[in-house]
Structures are given as C-alpha cells and as structure tokens.
Amino acid sequence: MRKIKKILSAILLLSLTFCTGGNSKRNYLTYWSSNNTYEIEFARKMVAEWNAAHPNEKVKFQPVPEGQSSEEVVLAAIVGKTTPDIYSNMWQGDVEAYAKAKILVALDTLKGFKDFIYSRCDSSTIKEVTAADGHIYQVPWKVNPIMMIYNKKLLDGIGFKNPPTTYKEFFTAAERFQKQNLVNGRVTKWFGYAEILPTWWQRLFDFYPLYLAESGGMPLVKNNKAVFNNKYALRVFNFLRTLYVHDYFPKERLSARQDVFLSSVIATRFTGPWDIAHTEKFKPKGFKYDFAPLPTSGKKSELPITYCDPKNIVIFNTCKNPQAAWEFIKFYLSEKNELKFLEITNQLPRRKDLLSNPLFEDYFNKNPMMKKFARQTLHIKGIDQALYLKEVFDIISQAYEESVVYRVRTPKAALDDAEKQVNLLYSK
C-alpha cells in the first residue's frame, strides 16, 4: 500500500512539475515571430543581443507554433489566452477585427510611438494601418511583394531572353516549353505552378496579385459589397484556366514532392523575395534564376501593382508591460537592425527611405534581385479594410477551383455566384 501511495504521489509531483499553468508570474516578455527559417535566425540574434543589454527585461522567443496558417494559430492563442506579448507576423487583414475585440494595445498611447512612425513611414502607409477608431494598433514592419521567379536556363532554352510580360507571351512560352519537354508524348515539365489546395490564403499568392496587376490595384470588397466581379477578375480567371486546360500548369500538388523549381521541373512560379535565400541555400550547381513583374493582359508602361503580403508587429493586451515591449520593438526596427534583417532574411522593411537611405545602398547594389523587389514596393497593395476577408477569399477560392482548375463551370458563372455569396455574407 505504501508503495502504491509513493508511486501515486510521484506521478502527481511529476505532472505538477511538468505542467506550467497560464497564470504563473513572470518578469520577461514573450515574442513570437513567423516560422520562416531566416526570420527565426534573425530573431534569435536580435533577442540574444537585447537580452545581453537588458538583463531585467529579457525577451523569450519562439516561432509561431505552426498550423495550416499562422493566422489560425494566433486566433486560437487569443481564444486560449496564450498570446505572446509581442507578435511580429500579424496579417493586416485581421487587425481591424482584433482591435474591435479589444485584444490589442493601442500603440499610439505609448511613449515615443508617434515620432517613430512618422519618421519611418509615409502618410499613405500610416493611413493604411490606422484603425476605424483613429488609433494605430500595428507597426507596419515588412512587405514581400509577389513577383514571378523564373529559371533563366529553361527560358533561354525556349528562346526567351526576357521573361514573358503579357498573357499572350506567357502562353507562347508555355507552349514551347511543354513541346520541348515531352517524353513519349507525355508532359513531364510545366511552365509554372500554383498551389492547388482550396485553402483561402493560397489565393493571396495567385489570383489576388494577378488581379491587382491586371486591374491596377482595384479592391475586392468596398463598403460591404463585392466589387470583384469585373472584367479584370474574369481575364485573370481565363488566363489561369487556359494554363490548366493545356496542362501548362500541373493539377498535381507538387508541394508534396521535393522542390520542383530547383529540380527544374517547373520554369516559373509566383513568389516573394523570401525565396531568394531558400534558392541560394538549396540550388544545384549552375542554377540561374531571376525575378520579373507579374504578367498582365496587355503591355504596361510602368510596373504592375502586386500584393505585398504585409506583416506587422502588434502588442497583445495580455502584455503586462507594453512600454517595455515597445522599447524592444523600437530596438528591433532600428536602422542598423533593419539592415541586418535585409541581409539575413531578404525581406523588405516597410520604410519610406528604403531606396534613398545610404545605409541600405550598399546592400541593394550587392543584391540586384532585392533591388527589383525594392523598386516593386513603390507599386504594391496590401489588403482591403473590411471584415470577413477570410470567408471572402474562401468563396473566391471555391469559384477558382471550380472554374480554373477543374473547369466544371465557366469563369463567368463562378464569379457571378461568388459575388452573390459575398454580398449575402455582408447582408447578414
């Protein structure tokens, strides 16, 4: 009997030591970054540097616990009251709703915030991040404009010294590429690839940037009404549909295989600057690649607008010491550290002096590809200021799957239906 008691109490003790409740007192700040490998590296360095200098206000860091998307995880953390103090991968589309639910700290109430933000950002960016109640709940941190990555050798091989810029050129290139790579009449390589999963945020990386490029940055939703059912969306749908009709884009989920761009199975892909570091790390010998603006239906005199995937920094109201958190953020975003951020992660800080500040000049001269992205930041758009954006993208995603990938409906019918559903969503 005594033995049993011993065992039971041992178990209890064990479980108590291992289980740390959510209420324990702590004198450090917690910080979540995105789970991009290079960003983790950057964050580790920054946090170590900060902790060495501020032993009394230490920061504990971890990448956002992965889910299908980081948004899902953050929402869950809010629900479970396990949010970190600082989170640096906040999707702009969520902030308005979070601000309304009063779970974010209004940063403009903190000392030194206003001076900082006005010296860092231009007025249009500040306007973009200001909430409906006039407060600012997020620091615009970084952008990753979506462009087209292409395999130089493969494009050279089909006589394209420059990548295609119009839909027509894109089709020509795709057709040539396909013919050249037939094996016993079978398609073995594809001109491009877009992830075919029906998850809503996948459309942020194919349909949405192409739509912005084609329409010159028109919104999807305005004043609680769907405005995306227009000729631009139709053109984008038809463009993508044609790519699937001719098997220029594969219907298979290639992301389950090894990296298909690096193994030259596909020639192009729509992606952001984060791919540079990845490509440099894993590319085979002699692999050459570059980036180009997104294709549009006709020639454009200037760069087409693209989606910039803005990610911002917020402080959750579970934070006991917001001013200290803000000091950490200020340290994180100091000029010197932003240069390091550029160098380590190849993502772009959202600051107005990106191309004019001599501090960054050297970096961009050494990294001509990043300069392309920096130039593209003059032609970018984030996301509409509206509620229910996930549901909207989900509805568009269904229409996309039906009419673009599997072609069980026409693009027109699918878009008409999507418009109706979105309007129904807002009318409730």
Partner 1 sequence: MRKGKLTPYLLVSPYIVHFLVFVVFPVAFSILLTFFKWDIISEMKFSGFANYRRLFADRLFWKALVNTLYFLSIHIPLELVVSLFLAEILNQKLKFQGLFRALFFLPVIVSGVAVTILWQQLYGYNAGLLNKFLMYIGLGKVGWLIDTKMAMPSIAIMATWKNVGLYIILFLVGLQTVPKQYYEAAELEGASHWQKFFKITLPLINPTIIMVVILSTIGGFSLFIEPYIMTGGGPLNSTLSALLYIYKQGFFYYHMGYASALGIFFALLIMAVVIIQRKYIEKRT
Partner 2 sequence: MIKKTIFYFILIVSAIVFTYPFLWMFLASISPDKAIGNLVLLPSQVTLDNYRQMIAKIPIWRALLNSVIVSGLITTGVLVFGSMIGYALARLEFKGRNLIFYLIIFTMTIPFQITLIPQYILMVKLNWTDTYYALIVPYLINALGIIMFRQYFLSLPQSLIDAARIDGCGELRIIFRIIWPNSVPVILTVAILTFMTSWNEVLWPLIVIRKESLMTLPQLVTLFVVGGRAESQLGVKLASSVFLATPIVIAYAFFQKYFINSMVSTGQKE
Name the strand (E) or helix (H) holding 89: strand 86-91
Residue among 56, 123, 124, 258 that touches partner 2 (CB under 8 A): 258
Of 61, 295, 5, nearest in space to 162 by CA: 295
327 binds partner 1 (CB under 8 A): no
Look at residue 63 and give the partner it binds from partner 2, partner 1, none, a contact being a CB closer than 5 to 8 Å depending on partner kind: partner 2
Place of tokens 């087209």: 148
| Contact positions with partner 2 (CB under 8 A) in 267-286 | 278, 282, 284
Residue among 12, 14, 16, 76 that touches partner 1 (CB under 8 A): 76
Residue among 406, 412, 413, 424 that touches partner 1 (CB under 8 A): 406
Q: Are 313 and 139 in contact, with CB atoms under 8 Å apart?
A: yes
What backbone torsions phi and psi does residue 190 show, to the nearest 5 degrees?
Answer: -125, 150
387 binds partner 1 (CB under 8 A): no
> CA-CA distance, 269 to 206, in Å (whole number)?
9
> CA-CA distance, 401 to 197, in Å (whole number)?
9
> CA-CA distance, 417 to 428, in Å (whole number)?
17
* Cβ atoms within 10 Å, residue 199: 13
Q: Coil, strand or helix: which one is 43? A: helix
Q: Are 378 and 303 in contact, with CB atoms under 8 Å apart?
A: yes
Q: Are 201 and 208 in contact, with CB atoms under 8 Å apart?
A: no
Look at residue 109 and give the partner it binds from partner 2, partner 1, none, a contact being a CB closer than 5 to 8 Å depending on partner kind: none
Closer residue to partner 2, CB minimum distance, 226 or 276? 276
In the complex, the smallest distance separating the C-beta of residue 198 from partner 1, rounded to whole angstroms, is 5
In the complex, the smallest distance separating the C-beta of residue 344 from partner 2, rounded to whole angstroms, is 16
77 binds partner 2 (CB under 8 A): yes
Residues that bind partner 2 (CB under 8 A): 1, 4, 8, 11, 14-15, 18-23, 35-37, 62-63, 65-68, 73, 76-77, 79-82, 255-259, 263, 278, 282, 284
Residues that bind partner 1 (CB under 8 A): 68, 72, 75-76, 78-79, 101, 103, 188, 196-199, 250-253, 256-257, 390-391, 401-402, 405-406, 408
